[in-house]
Structure 1
Amino acid sequence: MNLVSFLGAIEIGFVFALVALGVYLSFRILNFPDLTVDGSFPLGAAVAATLIIDGVDPYLATGLAIVAGMLAGLVTAILNLRFGILHLLASILTMIALYSVNLRIMGRPNLALITEPTVLTPFEGLGISGLYLKPLFGAVVIAVVALLLGWFLITEYGLGMRATGANPRMARAQGIATAKVTATGMALSNGLVALGGALFAQMNGFADITIGTGTIVVGLAAVIAGEAIFRVRGVVMAVAACIFGSIVYRLAIAFALNADYLGLTSADLNLVTAVLVALALILPGARNPFKALLARRNGVNGGGGGA
């Protein structure tokens, strides 16, 4: 794997770390299986790209993309909380609807941003090569988001959100408005995902209706990989694990696709993804033969001493 592929994987890893954080909020904190992210990721890209082409400031366009993602998360929450639709089905309905919404926003299946100003434009005059500028910008953004999210989850409201996901009945008994907290969490989750989509479009120079396909799998892979590596304890560590897991996942994908002896191509991306996610799920629970042997040996020695 050459330097370009390595830095490209780091750049995409930072972008999808935002997706991982959003997935962590919905799946882990709120215990809400949410497939809306497959629609809110391209929604963020579509809103940002369309507004930038129309002459809107890239930073304002990115902010409005976040708002659009939050609204998408609210729709899913309302379908579940107000109308009693199963959370998984509610998110699927929103995701399907967003496909048409994204097409309406863009007016066509894809938009090009190569000649348009982006959030990176103010920094291009610093003399930093674009090869390094994008990963550095992504690192700064994800660091700010991670600090804010980590702080939020240890505030009183954040603790209420964690309690809602862990035990809604007990949370309600403690006076927590679980419906409002859940809706807020879903909005934040999809807002983060939409931010990832907006940055993806601006860093790669295009927005496409299909870029959201499999986003939920990528987000889950990052969360699971990070938790498997870090053995997470506490939300602050979990936030860091999501970011690290996203980068590791992207590096593993890049290594697999660039390893000539494996004979893999970009067409095998979904296969590689499935294998990596399966390994991340299997390995933490796999039995360690050396640990088992040591335990048996200690048991035998302890039994002999007692006799």
Structure 2
Amino acid sequence: MLPTPDSLAVDAEASVAPVRRRRWGAIIAISLLGVALAGAVAGCAWFFLQLDAAQNRISEQEQELEQQRELIDEKETFGAAMDALLESTVKFDDVLTASVVPWEDYRRLAVQAWAHRWDADAVASDTRAVEQAAAELDASWNEAQQQAGSNASGSGYEAVIDRLSGGFVSSVVDDAKAICADGDDGGDRELLACVFNDDPYVVHFDAAADSVPYMNDELRAGIAYHEFAHVLQITNPTATREALPAFDGDGEVMADCFALTFLDGWQLDHRIWTSDYEYWDVNIGYGTACTGAQQQVVRDWHAKLGVELQPVSSKAL
């Protein structure tokens, strides 16, 4: 049967409808593709942002590790420097002038390093301070060895002081009367020598007194022993505080007693013959000879003197 106009119209409409569906379908597909691409771009951006953050974090962690390694290295260097310093103190064991090794300064350096334990630069500075302390201690030792082996002034005073001190105390023959005049409590006695509290490693002997006609090596030795007792009193303050009450707190009487105890044949009163018919009666010291009990106090005091090796520690770095 031939199609009627109505059926043709139906067929025509039917043939048109699929075309419209394909157009909408194409538009929808393109839009979905655009959304998908946009999602992919956004995803890549997020990935790159995450990767960049991770790389920054890795860089920060590497920097932290490097700082930790540097800190560990500085702590080890400090420890080695402190070990070397303490090793240098060993040779000072029993040197009579105890304060020649400044233990409190070394403890302060150790405690300071502990306080700086998280700061590599500060620990490095502490290490340099320890190395400087070791250099100064070694220099003190070397200087003492040279001093003990020479007599720069050529005097009998220096020979005795070098022997008693092991070279750690120097002797100067100068205008001791003028230098030592401040605080002189010798009354009408002639001042022969002195030691200063703030500089106990130098003994001043008076040049004019050394040239008087009655001066001889026996007197010089007694004077040197007396002055060396003052050196020991100043450089060993704790032991000295314990001993002084036996002398009513008089350090001069104690110094005389030291000479009377340790210098064989020493006495305070001397008759010095300067010719066959001329002599001088000389009293050296402060006029009081010590008792046997006081001499024992001096011996006990002397036995406590000197450098004692001590631990220097802080909390572990």
Q: With structure 1 as the length reference, what TM-score do the two structures score? A: 0.22
Structure 1 or 2: larger helix share?
1
Structure 1 or 2: larger strand share?
2
Q: With structure 2 as the length reference, what TM-score do the two structures score? A: 0.22
